[in-house]
């Protein structure tokens, strides 16, 4: 049975993440928000520490986790890398979401490799930083509509297309590119390829200027006759119409709970800061009295806390299911939808409750409000998550429910 208390064996990891968030992320948060595109050098030491923990086996979940459906079924309850990574992510994003997104060798592409790569690929790409390139100028949440093509030419695939909004695309060593083997077949032909930086034909077009998460770099790529060896294709090279593109979509079963964990951490930061400001103004939340007999600010705060708690529990449930080899696509989308929406609502309401203190740069609340919106957009927008949830609950296919 699932127990959504923090597992005892991960308390040390959570404590370390809290320390990093408090002593590295939070103190430098405003600095790199103002200095967009400047790499946070403070993260190099942290990256080396994570590498050491992973190499020694002492840091289970310290690196990018994956959801591997081909693993042997475990007996009993198991809390492993997905749960620990989610818990660590919550703490680190209490410090700064942008810093978390630009931690060396912890990119979304690393989760794709961890989920889908074979043993040889896992060994070959170990210790390298991987970004993930899915979104295209005409294609956002509908990943099946990808137009970037991969044409087989002997031992190579030739990639052509454009990718936008690639997180850590400038700083990463590798880019996991989603491309189609045949546009006429649809989603079943979509595969993911690991493209090494410096490969001829992979061109960085521009760095984006963003509303939030400015410590993290976001780029646009152009692929022009980019030749990638067949050994860099992740998953089954054959087109299986019955299976669809389950191999590449399996990545989302892992990354969506992690984005939800980011939102949970940011929401908690907003709530804690707002509580301090309210208490300074003489407004104290009394949990022994009904919200209806307290001040409007206290009642609103209690409602936000309830939303936060619901998002946190859904996120832990999705991570636990992944660790226990249970299909979690529905729960991953539920966690992402709830946490993404709640985080934005909480951040904006906290700014509102705190008035001028929330709106000015003297506090971090205004920055957190800007950072929050991306957590409701990337890895599948709020709307696409609700569509996925509806399909799962009603037993409908993507063709039957659009």
Distances (CA, A) of 328 to 253, 308, 312: 6, 21, 16
Other beta carbons within 10 angstroms of residue 18's beta carbon come to 16
User: What's the rounded Cα separation, in Å, for the pair 269 and 246?
Assistant: 35
Distances (CA, A) of 187 to 24, 114, 165, 216, 243: 42, 22, 21, 30, 10
Q: Is-catalytic flag, 379?
A: yes
Q: Which among 102, 130, 92 is positioned nearest to 114, based on CA atoms?
A: 130
- The answer to whether the beta carbons of residues 331 and 76 sit under 8 Å apart is no
What is the full DSSP assignment across 21-40? IIIIIHHHHHHHHHSTT---
Structure tokens at 374: 């991306």
User: What's the rounded Cα separation, in Å, for the pair 33 and 248?
Assistant: 33
Helices H / strands E in the chain, number of each: 12, 8
Rg (CA), the chain: 21
Residue 76, burial from CB neighbour count under 10 angstroms (0-12, 13-18, 19+): exposed
- The answer to whether the beta carbons of residues 349 and 304 sit under 8 Å apart is yes
Q: Which among 201, 181, 193 is positioned nearest to 230, based on CA atoms?
A: 193
Given the residues 136, 273, 363, 379, the one annotated as active site: 379
Measure the N-to-C terminal CA separation of the chain; round to a whole number of Å.
Answer: 35
Run of H or E including 211: none
User: What's the rounded Cα separation, in Å, for the pair 25 and 265?
Assistant: 13
User: What's the rounded Cα separation, in Å, for the pair 262 and 377?
Assistant: 13
For the annotated catalytic residues, the residue numbers are: 379
């Amino acid at each position: 049975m699932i127990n959504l208390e923090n597992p005892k064996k991960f308390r040390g990891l959570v404590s370390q993440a809290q320390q990093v968030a408090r002593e590295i992320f939070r103190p430098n948060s405003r600095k790199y928000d103002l200095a967009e595109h400047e790499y946070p050098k403070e993260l190099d030491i942290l990256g080396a520490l994570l590498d050491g923990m992973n190499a020694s086996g002492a840091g289970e979940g310290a690196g990018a986790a994956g959801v591997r459906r081909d693993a042997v079924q475990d007996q009993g309850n198991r809390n492993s890398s997905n749960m620990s990574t989610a818990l660590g992510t919550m703490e680190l994003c209490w410090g700064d979401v942008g810093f978390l997104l630009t931690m060396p060798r912890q990119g979304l592409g690393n989760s794709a490799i961890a989920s889908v790569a074979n043993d040889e690929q896992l060994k070959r790409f170990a210790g390298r930083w991987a970004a993930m390139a899915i979104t295209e100028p005409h294609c956002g949440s509908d990943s099946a509509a990808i137009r970037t093509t991969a044409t087989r030419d002997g031992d190579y695939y030739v990639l052509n297309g454009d990718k936008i909004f690639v997180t850590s695309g400038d700083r990463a060593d590798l880019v996991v590119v989603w491309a189609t083997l045949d546009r006429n077949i649809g989603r079943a032909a979509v595969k993911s390829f690991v493209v090494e930086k410096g490969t001829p034909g992979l061109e960085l077009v521009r760095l984006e200027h963003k509303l939030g998460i400015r410590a993290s770099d976001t780029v646009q790529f152009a692929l022009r006759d980019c030749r990638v060896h067949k050994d860099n294709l992740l998953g089954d090279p054959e087109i299986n119409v019955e299976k669809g593109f389950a191999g590449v979509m399996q990545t989302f079963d892992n990354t969506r709970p992690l984005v939800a964990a980011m939102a949970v951490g940011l929401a908690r930061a907003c709530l804690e800061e707002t509580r301090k400001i309210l208490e300074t103004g003489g407004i104290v939340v009394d949990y022994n009295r009904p919200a209806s007999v307290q001040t409007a600010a206290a009642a609103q705060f209690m409602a936000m806390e309830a939303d936060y708690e619901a998002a946190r529990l859904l996120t832990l449930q999705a991570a636990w299911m992944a660790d226990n080899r249970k299909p979690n696509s529905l729960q991953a989308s539920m966690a992402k939808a709830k946490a993404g929406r709640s985080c934005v609502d909480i951040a904006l309401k906290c700014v509102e409750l705190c008035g001028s203190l929330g709106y000015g740069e003297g506090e971090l609340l205004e920055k957190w409000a800007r950072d929050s919106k991306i957590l409701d957009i990337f890895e599948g927008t709020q709307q696409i998550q609700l569509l996925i949830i509806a399909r799962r609950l009603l037993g409908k296919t993507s063709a039957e429910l659009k």
